[in-house]
Amino acid sequence: MEDKLNQLKTILNEVADLNAASALLGWDQQTYMPAGSAEGRGNQLATLGQIAHIKFTSDEVGRLLEDLEPQVAQLDPDSDAARLVKVTRREYDKNTKVPTEWVAEFARVTTVGQQVWQEARIENNFARFQPYLEKIIDLRRQYAAIFAPYDHVYDPLLDDFEPGMKTAEVKEIFGKLRPQQVELIKAIADRPQVDDSFLRQTFAEQKQWDFGVEVITKMGYDWQHGRQDRSAHPFTTNFGIDDVRITTKFLPDFVSSAIFSTVHETGHALYEQGVDHALERTPLAGGASLGMHESQSRLWENLVGRSYPFWQHFYPRLQEFFPGQLGNVSLDAFYKGINKVQPSLIRIEADEATYNLHIMLRLELEIALIEGSLQVKDLPQAWNSRMQEYLGVTPTNDKNGVLQDIHWSGGMVGYFSTYALGNLISAQLWERINQDIPDLPDQIRKGEFSALLGWLRNNIHRHGAKYESQELVKRITGSKIDPAPYMRYLTDKFSKVYGF
């Protein structure tokens, strides 16, 4: 068995290296690549994608899996070898159904599409991006059709980001969650609004950068195996466990944006940096799912980063960076300001109480696009209409509306629900973490994060993709993804902030 397992690993290592090279080109595309290079970069990514796809879906991989499966069945089902064969089989069965030509075309279209999206967003011109999005949606429909029959046409797309999850499950979870969040928002709206005007002044970009570096260094980000850059939309990427990079977008007139997006992306990065090195260069060397990944970023961003103990430690330092803007603002006022609840246009700047409504809106639009009940040309109008219905605000332009997110330009149709799932998982994990580390608030107040990071590393990070998210959540908390802990967290927090 050992010989065949090593043969399989050799192929998987090569595929991982090709994917890492593609990821490096993708990182460069969003950070330093000249604007006119998109077509050439698309060809490069298409070539690498083709080679990786052909190598991974080869008959040799299929034969090795067939030979190994009865042998690993005798092992502990949680062993690295058994899980590697199980996960590889799952990915192999999916990928062998997808034509290599589709893989190459998808890489070309999305690479150019991302560049056009950036330009269309700057120009506030959805019409320019529309033909590219139409092609992307068509390609994602073609992809879904490959996996028919299915319970819902959106299932294959969701499965790419949340393995094993069905559209019906997500709808059920959101169906329970939405009325509770709407009720909470109404309760908050009946209370006097908090003041956050002090956050909306001029804040020097370099000082924002420097403060963020101090924060994420204390959180545990490993600068020997990572770096930070600027991009149009914050993201995290990695080319292996020892090379995990984050990007941040800075707004000169709103300091919260860069702070919390930097902490958010670092949550993703800490996950990738914490994967067991024994899983390196295999399909297990990554997060369990995008929902589990978002649980880590949202946990650090919100449950830690927007908490009172966190700012008891960091606020005096932030005041030193910006004495003119924040020197006369009390800690209590600052804490309430960063936790202000107000329906807004931009998802990544949305407060915790309204954030999930942004996600539900996008999920419903994605499903309609894939089903064909909504045409791309009608997307801006549908977006604006639902923003008004769900949040009571209407975008005045496409830049702050339908063009605000990068995901569709990169072909990530099926991704958005994982943000809300991540919120739910984060609160579920948080209840267990506080049981296991009862003095955690005191540790955070002192700027000590090693126990928290150690808990996450031991229970989540080291396992990589060995377990699907529902399985991992149940192992840790005793139940599958449950909205109740999240609503307990939101209600407790905002009843104190708003006094109801």
pLDDT, tens digit (0-9, with 9 covering 90-100), for 74-120: 999 999 999 999 999 999 999 999 999 999 999 999 999 999 999 99
Q: 273 and 241 in contact (C-beta within 8 Å)?
A: yes
Instruction: Report the C-alpha gap between 43 and 29 in whole angstroms.
Output: 13
> Does one domain contain both 368 and 296?
yes
Domain boundary among 98, 118, 149: 149
The answer to whether residue 442 is domain-embedded is yes
Burial class (CB in 10 A: 0-12, 13-18, 19+), 203: buried
Q: How distant, in Å, are the alpha carbons of 402, 406, 484 from that of 121?
A: 9, 10, 37
What per-residue confidence (pLDDT) applies to 96?
A: 97
CA-based diameter of the chain, in Å?
69
The pair of structure tokens assigned to 292 is 């589990």
Task: Quote the CA–CA distance of 5 and 68 in Å, as a whole number.
Answer: 7
Q: Distance (Å, rounded) from C-alpha 428 to C-alpha 449?
A: 19
Q: Name the pairing type of β-strands 244-248 and 236-238.
A: antiparallel
Give the pLDDT confidence of 110-160 residue by residue, as tens digits: 999 999 999 999 999 999 999 999 999 999 999 999 999 999 999 999 999
Instruction: Print the domain residue range for 358.
Output: 167-498
237 shares its domain with 366: yes
Query: Are residues 255 and 329 in contact, defined by beta-carbon separation less than 8 angstroms?
Result: no
- Judgement on whether residues 130 and 12 belong to the same structural domain of the protein: yes
Does residue 71 share a domain with residue 98? yes
Residue 389 · residue 339 · CB < 8 Å: no
Q: How far apart are CA 134 and CA 112, in angstroms?
A: 13
> How many angstroms separate the CA atoms of 491 and 96, rounded?
47
Looking at residue 113, its amino acid is G
Residue 301 annotated among the catalytic residues of the structure:
no
Do the beta carbons of residue 181 and residue 356 sit within 8 Å? yes
Do 41 and 117 fall into the same domain?
yes
For the stretch 360-408, pLDDT in tens is 999 999 999 999 999 999 999 999 999 999 999 999 999 999 999 999 9
Report the C-alpha gap between 147 and 135 in whole angstroms: 19
Selecting among 91, 265, 272, 352, the annotated active-site residue is: 265
Cα–Cα dist 247/29, whole Å: 12
Question: What contacts 495, CB < 8 A, 6 or more positions away?
Answer: 187
Are both 19 and 121 inside the same structural domain? yes
CA–CA distances in Å: residue 389 to residues 172, 358, 385, 386, 395: 20, 11, 6, 5, 12
C-alpha–C-alpha distance, residues 215 and 259, integer Å:
9
What pTM did the predictor assign?
0.94
Within the chain, which residues score under 70 in pLDDT? Answer: none
Q: Is residue 157, in this structure, part of any structural domain at all?
A: no
Statement to judge: residues 386 and 490 lie in one domain: yes
> Helix 417-436 vs helix 450-459: angle between axes, to the nearest 10 degrees?
110
Domain-ending residue, one of 119, 149, 179: 149
Look up the CATH number of the domain holding residue 432: 1.10.1370.30
Residue 369 falls within a domain, yes or no?
yes
pLDDT at 492: 96
The verdict on residue 12 lying in a domain is: yes
Last residue in a domain, options 149, 178, 208 = 149
177/124 same-domain check: no
| 104 & 179 share domain | no
Are residues 186 and 131 both part of a single domain?
Answer: no
* Nearest-angstrom CA–CA distance, 44 and 160: 23
The two tokens of residue 443 are 């540790």
- Residues 342, 486, single domain; the answer is yes
| pLDDT given at position 349 | 87
CA angle 446, 452, 453 (to 5 degrees): 115
User: Is residue 160 one of the residues assigned to a domain?
Assistant: no
**Residues 281 and 376 placed together within one structural domain of the fold:** yes
Domains held by the chain: number: 2
Tell whether 246 is covered by a domain.
yes
For residue 248, tell me if it sits in a domain: yes
| Residue type for position 10 | T
